[in-house]
Structure 1
Amino acid sequence: MEPFEDKQILVDFIQRISHSRAINWDMGSSACLNWTGITCNHDNSRIIAVRLPASSLHGPIPSNTLSRLPALQILSLRSNGLTGPFPFDFSNLRNLTALYLQSNGFYGPLPLNFSDWNNLSILNLSNNGFNGSIPPYISNLSHLTALSLANNSLSGEIPNLHIPSLQVLDLSNNNLTGPVPESLQRFPTSAFAGNDLSPLTSMPPVVSPSSQPSKNSSKLGEPAILGITIGGCALAFVILAFIMILRYSKDWKDVSERPKKEEKTTKLRSGSHNVNGNGSLVFFEGSNLAFDLEDLFRASAEVLGKGTFGTTYKAALEDASTVVVKRLKEVAAAKRDFELQMELVGNIRHENVVPLRAYYYSKDEKLMVYDYYDQGSVSSMLHAKRGENAGRIPLDWESRLRIAIGAARGIAYIHSQTGGKLVHGNIKASNIFFNPQRYGCVSDLGLATVMTPLAPPVMRIGGYRAPEVADTRKVYQASDVYSFGVVLLELLTGKSPTHATGGEEVVHLVRWVHSVVREEWTAEVFDVELLRYPNIEEEMVEMLQIGMQCVARSPEQRPKMAQVVKLVEDIRRTTNTGASEVSTPATEMASSPVVAQQIGSSVVAM
């Protein structure tokens, strides 16, 4: 079902209003699924939210358009170039719960009657040119929780707004006079700053008779003071000793680690206090996201990870949508070069490449916005909760094979762009996700060319880096092949590219696999979580052979990514045509001499 009437109303609105940014509203596509800034009700029969913040809308709102949406609950047109008086036909929007018109060029008086908006909870008309007085009938909005009329030209006295539900109030920077009504004196003085209001008069605090000091009370004597001092010092010493004992106990270690988990939820703004307000988010065509920089910085953000190029956040926006934001660090490219690279990356569309939805550039802040994948990265699926019996769902072989096929296709497509010269430069399991078809898709494209080259010691820490990258600090398509080979080994072994052994020794995955297969210790190569699946040993051996070809030390010995795609896709075709009906049992597979011989011969051939 589609809200046909509502779609016609919105198409009429967008055709009649001036806008310099393309908005993908057309009758031929699904408004509920594809239209930018649109939310429908549960059965898609009505549009209940329209969000077009910072969408380059200009001029007055055409009459008899948005006001004809009977089920509309949320309307956000903030941070545009809208002008004219307040749209009085908005009184027809009787189901409205939130109205955001701040940061536009509206002028004239506010509507006198608010009785039609019985459900209104949030009203933000700040940063406009409204004048006249504040209508006392705002008190009729019995469900109002937030009211902002700041930075307008409102005058006169503040009416007595008795709204028990009101939690947030901002009337600052107007021309208001007179006293603050008693009903609003519970709000901080900042809510009224920048006006010519009478100073607030407050009653002196009442002190109970029992708390008043007695005139006849005498001062403490010196012995009493000395005793209190000595006792206090002794108590402090005991507490300090107790803390020191706990500090080095295992229990203290467990307690001290808990806050680190709690700190994962933050605000994106906390990392950058000097954002240049002149910039704005740049969206790419085909995106149906509708938010601006203010939304992004106000969003509740969870740290997903910290990598070579910056910190990645999961940001929950006010419209209940979720995006991934990467905050870049140490960007070396100038603004124009950065923008050109983002335009190149943002226009790449392939089912196995995570699309870049938007970016932001200022002197102090560089952001990239992607879709959020709720299953997490391949790295988290492989390694999270490993060793714990409860809560872990092992990644089966079919999924691992599809991850390899999809990621290979995505990287090969990237390598075919810009005349066959484009390089990804940061292939790793934490940058690979499941697409809707449950094939691997790669993210973080194009960052290597805009970032400051890392020092060799830092680069060698990551087990995905090809030897030549650590030596030259440059990335090549052949180094992408190497990194993909490490991902294949990671899928097969279940081990991180650099991992610690029982003796805390750091082991490099590529070197470890080389040493194990040379000794024909086949049982130690494959992930124990894979040994439960029958009829897959030949496929695993083939993938291992491909992975070992990809991680050849010399770049010239590695296959091209297009060849790798064919090799990985052929794993299932080859084994399906030649596989026997009876599979090698898991216990036999671990020591199968045929398997060991196949692996060993592939290593020697390289």
Structure 2
Amino acid sequence: MPTNPPTMPPISFFTLLFLFLLSFSGAGAEPTADKQALLDFLTKVPHESRLQWDPSLSACSWVGVSCDPSNSSVHSLRLPGVGLIGPIPPSTLGRLSSLRVLSLRSNRLSGPLPADLSNLKSLRNVYLQRNQLSGDFPPSLAELTRLNRLDLSSNNFTGPIPFALNNLTHLTGLFLQSNGFTGKLPNLSAAAASLDTFNVSDNRLNGSIPAALAKFPSSSFANNLQLCGAPLPPCNPFFPSPAPSPDLEPPPAVAGQKKHRKLSTAAIVGISIAGGLLALILLLALIFLLIKRKNSNQTTKAYKPPSTTAAVAGSAAAAGAAEIGTSSSKDDVTGVSGEGGERNKLVFFQGGMFSFDLEDLLRASAEVLGKGSVGTSYKAVLEEGTTVVVKRLKDVAAAKKEFEQQLEMLGNVKHPNVLPLRAYYFSKDEKLLVSDYMPAGSLSALLHGSRGSGRTPLEWDSRLRIAVSAARGLAHLHVSGKVVHGNIKSSNILLKQDNLDASVSDYGLNPLFLNSSTPNHRVMGYRAPEVLETRKVTFKSDVYSFGVLLLELLTGKAPNQASLGEEGIDLPRWVQSVVREEWTAEVFDVELMRYQDVEEEMVQLLQIGMACVAMVPDQRPTMPEVLRMMEDMNRGDTDDGLRSSDDALRGGSDSQTPPLESRASPPGLTP
């Protein structure tokens, strides 16, 4: 008897109703945890008033927030150009565990990214371009292995690009242009397999481009310090190999010359006769020499001259070439001296982070940064990617012991606004100093370079921050280090990233030279009057030079330029003559005229600068006093004491301050 197949038990009405309600339960769901994380983020980050999230509504309905279909978690956060200001607080966005898209581009976010962003394992796309984010490459991003697009362009990130980016094997677009990344490009062979767009232009990278990245166009690597290799021009070593010996070069070929040519009969006869005569002359000369030698041995006594071997060896050891790295001077530079074969080495100071030797420097690729009054500076890029500055001192008069004592003292100076010395080298023919490379360059280049239509002006707040940070470094040298700088000028004020904080360099080197204070065209405008007479630098002469530096920042004029009114007048006297004749805006740099509500600060700094350049040394303040006066200037009510450049340009929303030209004339300055 046939049996019916088993049937499913009937579903009750209540079961169907439950399933029906369950299917629509997501419509009223609320991502509670994500909502609180977003509220914490918005509360801690200043923003424009148009970005308002109503806590009474679902987070999925807020501007810039999108959720999954069930509204149980936030999947994307897009807040481009909404005026977000300051750092991203930790324990906020890092709690959005299901986030797939994060777009905070075109804001004013600053500082490093929080480490807890590494919790966002579902992130696919990150857009943080056109902000003011800083610090090293965010290590948290290298842990997000599902990333497809990463855009950190137009920020202030520094340091090397990490090899850990190879973990991002799904990455199709990587945009790191317009930052301050340094060092060599890592071999991103694993990540490059999926990359279709890549850009590291406008950074400070160096070294050769890895083969895995050579598939991208040259525009992806443009405007870096020293990148080379395909698709850019090939790399060239800094220390070139010696030219081939002339006697090894083949003789130049003569056009139309035949390889084989028969001689005529007359020529053969002539050559034979000439050869015979030459042989006869040589035979007669040989007979004459033998006869003369025999007579000499019979009439004179044997005599042994003194040996000159030692003298020859000593002079050979002292021989050197004009430039470091040439074949004739390399033995001396690498340390083989004529005094007992003692080997000279690079001497590193304690607390340094470098591990290389002189041979590494000789193999490095480098370029000339500039020639100063005490020597030439090179930027050397070592094989492992480390970048340092090597200063090759000239005309050093100090003996080895005096040199080492002075450098050991300078190597102990530690301050954020003093460029640290990392190592030195001393031999008979070469004296080298090794220090950190400052990628932003010098104040001189920033202030006076390319003052054309395409130039980005150095804003007022940046100038003031540079002046204050340089004053802090110089005051530390005077008070804690007991060191006279002796060579203050704008080319020795080096700038860190963003051109805001300065470090003083080339300090305390005067004792190494004879007549070290002899003026030249590079430092003439900075020298105090008494230094030109006594040729001795002092703490008060440093104050004078720093005052000239302040006037240079205010006027935009180089102290040694010739166009300062009447011939022969220096910058302090020119400023004083303008102020004494009649108060006018002509004393200030025209590039500062675009900023409003900063005239009082400019006048205050001008008064400090004029006090520093007093003719009588005892009438000048000390550097700690100069620093205190600068720090006491009215800098607004912001936390760091410096207004933002945007506020300075706008002059404040309620400011009615007229331009400088229409202001009432303030009282004159005391000479």
| TM-score scaled by length of structure 1 | 0.53
Q: Is the 8 A contact 2:543 2:622 kept in 1?
A: yes
Question: How do residues 307-322 of structure 1 correspond to structure 2 at under 5 angstroms?
Answer: 307-322=372-387
Distance 1:462 1:399 in 2: 26
Alignment of 1:205-604 (within 5 A): 212-213=260-261, 268-270=324-326, 274-275=332-333, 276-277=335-336, 278-386=343-451, 388-390=452-454, 392-418=455-481, 421-435=482-496, 438-454=500-516, 456=518, 458=520, 462-501=524-563, 505=567, 507-573=569-635, 581-582=654-655, 584-586=657-659, 589-590=660-661, 592-594=663-665, 597-598=666-667, 600=668, 602=669, 604=670
How far the C-alpha of 1:272 sits from its partner, in A, is 5.6
Alignment partner, residue 14 of structure 1: none
Q: CA deviation at 1:316?
A: 1.7
Are the counterparts in 2 of residues 535 and 583 from structure 1 also a CA contact under 8 Å? no
Give the letter aligned to residue 487 of structure 1: L
Tell me the SS of whatever aligns to 2:525: coil
> Which secondary structure state, in structure 2, belongs to the residue aligned with residue 393 of structure 1?
coil
Looking at structure 1, the residues matched to 458 and 528 of structure 2 have their Cα atoms a distance apart, in angstroms, of 26
Aligned-partner Cα distance in 1 for 2:521–2:564: 25
CA deviations over 1:29-59 (Å, ceiling 9, x no partner): xxx9xxxxx99623499xxxxxxxxxxxxxx
CA, structure 1 residues 491+305, in 2 after alignment: closer, same or farther (shift >3 Å)?
same
Correspondence 1:197-212 to 2 at 5 A: 212=260
CA distance in 2, matches of 1:268, 1:332: 19
Contact 1:427 1:484 in 2 (8 A): yes
Unaligned runs of 5+ in 1: 2-31, 33-37, 46-70, 74-187, 191-204, 220-265
Do structure 1's residue 42 and structure 2's residue 160 form an aligned pair? no
**Local SS of the residue matching 1:463:** helix
Cα gap change, 1:568 to 1:505, in 2 (>3 Å): same
Question: For 1:583 and 1:297, how far apart are their aligned partners in 2?
Answer: 61
- Give, as a single letter, the amino acid of the residue that structure 2 aligns with 1:582: S
For the residues of structure 2 that align with 1:334 and 1:440, how far apart are their CA atoms? 32
Residue 288 of structure 1: how far off its partner (Å)? 1.5
In 1, distance between residues paired with 2:557 and 2:637?
A: 25
Task: Report the equivalent of 2:56.
Answer: none
Distance 2:590 2:257 in 1: 76
Deviation at 1:214, TM superposition (A): 6.5
**Match of 1:369, SS?**
strand
Question: In the TM superposition, what is the alpha-carbon distance from 1:301 to its structure 2 partner?
Answer: 2.5
Classify 1:560/1:298 alpha carbon distance in 2 versus 1 (closer, same or farther; 3 Å): same
Q: Tell which structure's C-alpha radius of gyration is larger.
A: 2
Relative to structure 1, is the Cα distance of residues 209 and 433 closer, same or farther in structure 2, using a 3 angstrom cutoff? Answer: closer
Partner of 1:302: helix, strand, or coil?
strand
SS at match of 1:567: helix
Shift of residue 503 of structure 1?
9.2
Deviation of residue 322 (structure 1)?
1.3
Distance in structure 2 (CA, Å) of the matches to 1:476 and 1:341:
16
Shift of 1:210: 7.1
Does the C-alpha gap of structure 1 residues 217 and 583 become closer, same or farther in structure 2, counting only changes over 3 Å? farther
Q: CA deviation at 1:520?
A: 2.0
Q: Which runs of structure 2 are paired with 1:140-155 in the superposition (5 Å)? A: none
Q: 1:592/1:495 Cα in 2 relative to 1: closer, same or farther (>3 Å)?
A: same
Aligned to 2:219: none
d(CA) in 2 for partners of 1:363, 1:592: 62
CA distance in 2, matches of 1:210, 1:297: 46
* Structure-2 separation of matches of 1:323 and 1:489: 31
SS at match of 1:406: helix
- The share of aligned pairs that are identical, in percent, is 53
Over aligned residue pairs, what C-alpha RMSD do you find?
4.0
Instruction: Describe the SS at the equivalent of 1:288.
Output: coil
Using the alignment, how far apart are the partners of 2:329 and 2:463 within structure 1?
Answer: 38
Q: Which runs of 5+ in 2 are unaligned?
A: 1-114, 116-141, 143-159, 168-186, 190-242, 246-252, 268-321, 337-342, 642-650
Q: Could you tell me how far apart the structure 1 residues matched to 2:161 and 2:604 are?
A: 47
Distance across 2 between alignment mates of 1:542 and 1:535 = 13
SS class of match (1:398)? helix
Cα distance change on mapping 1:344 and 1:456 into 2, 3 Å: closer
What residue identity is the alignment partner of 2:483?
Answer: L
| Partner in structure 2 of residue 17 of structure 1 | none
CA contact (8 A) 1:267 1:300 kept: no
CA drift of 1:379 comes to 0.6
Gap change, CA 1:431 and 1:461, over 3 Å in 2: closer
Q: Is the 8 A contact 2:517 2:537 kept in 1?
A: no
Q: Distance in 1 between matches of 2:399 and 2:510?
A: 14
Distance 1:458 1:189 in 2: 39
Q: Kindly tell me: are residues 554 and 574 of structure 1, through their superposed partners in 2, closer, same or farther at Cα, counting changes over 3 Å?
A: farther
1: CA distance between counterparts of 2:409 and 2:520?
28
CA distance in structure 2 between the aligned counterparts of 1:535 and 1:483, rounded to whole angstroms: 28
SS of alignment partner, residue 590 of structure 1: helix
The 3 A distance-change label for structure 1 pair 470 and 575 is farther
Q: 1:216 to 1:530 in 2, by over 3 A?
A: same
CA shift in 2, pair 1:409/1:210, >3 Å: closer
Shift of 1:459: 8.1
Aligned to 1:114: none
Partner letter of residue 387 of structure 2?
A: T
What corresponds to 2:55 in structure 1?
none
Amino acid at match of 1:411: L
| CA distance in structure 2 between the partners assigned to 1:348 and 1:434 by the alignment | 18
Which SS does the other structure have where 1:407 is aligned?
Answer: helix
Q: CA separation in 2, counterparts of 1:563 and 1:540?
A: 18
1:267–1:541: structure 2 CA closer, same or farther, 3 Å change rule?
same
3-state secondary structure, aligned to 1:359: strand
Relative to structure 1, is the Cα distance of residues 309 and 272 closer, same or farther in structure 2, using a 3 angstrom cutoff?
farther
Whether the 8 Å contact between 1:459 and 1:470 is mirrored in structure 2 is: no
CA distance in 1, matches of 2:371, 2:257: 59
SS of the equivalent of 2:418 reads: coil
Question: What TM-score, normalized to structure 2?
Answer: 0.48
Q: Would the alpha carbon gap of residues 43 and 398 (structure 1) be closer, same or farther in structure 2, given more than 3 Å must change?
A: same
